[in-house]
Every structure is written in C-alpha cells, then in structure tokens.
Amino acid sequence: MTIRNLERCFKVAIDKQVNYVGVLVQMKGFKKPEIIINENPNFKSKLVYYKKTYNDDLTLKTFNGIKIINFTYGNTFSDIENDLLNH
C-alpha cells in the first residue's frame, strides 16, 4: 500500500459520495491498531493532510513507528469496521 492507493480510495469515496473513509493506523507500543473515521465533508482536506504528513509507504514522516496499514470507504461504521479488520 502506498499514498497513491490512499489517494485513490479518497477519490472513489468522493465520486461515490459515501459517508466515511476509514484508516487503520498501527502504532509502535500499542497492542492493537487505531481506527480513524473521516466524514465526507472532510475528505478533501483530510487527504491533503495525509499526503503532507505521511511518506509514500504510509509511515508517518516524523516517526516511523506510526504507519497506515489499511483503509477503506463505506456508508456506515460497520462497513468500515468489517473492511478494515477482516482483511
């Protein structure tokens, strides 16, 4: 997975006008990854943030112990949870 894949996910979510984009973030020192859910009105600005803050391999630019390990889009929190945690 790369930042381009994440960008594509956001663009498809925008085109399909779905409610949410979910991002699964692995953090060094934590047993389980964190789920971040972004709402549709924030998609464009959040993508700008991710592109500015994460490297091409989806590691945080300021600390390589944080990495985006999965992402998806959906219309409900359940959709996001199922896609992120079951793949």
What would the pLDDT profile of 53-75 be if each residue is shown by its tens digit?
A: 999 999 999 999 999 999 999 99
The whole model's pTM is what?
0.93
DSSP assignment, residue 86? -
CB-CB neighbours of 63 under 10 Å: 10
Give the model's pLDDT for residue 58. Answer: 98
Q: Which two tokens stand for residue 71?
A: 């992402």
What is the arrangement of strands in the sheet containing 63-74, beginning at the earlier edge strand?
Answer: 34-39, 20-27, 63-74, 59-60
CB 84 within 8 A of CB 24: yes
Interatomic CA distance for residues 87 and 84, integer angstroms = 6
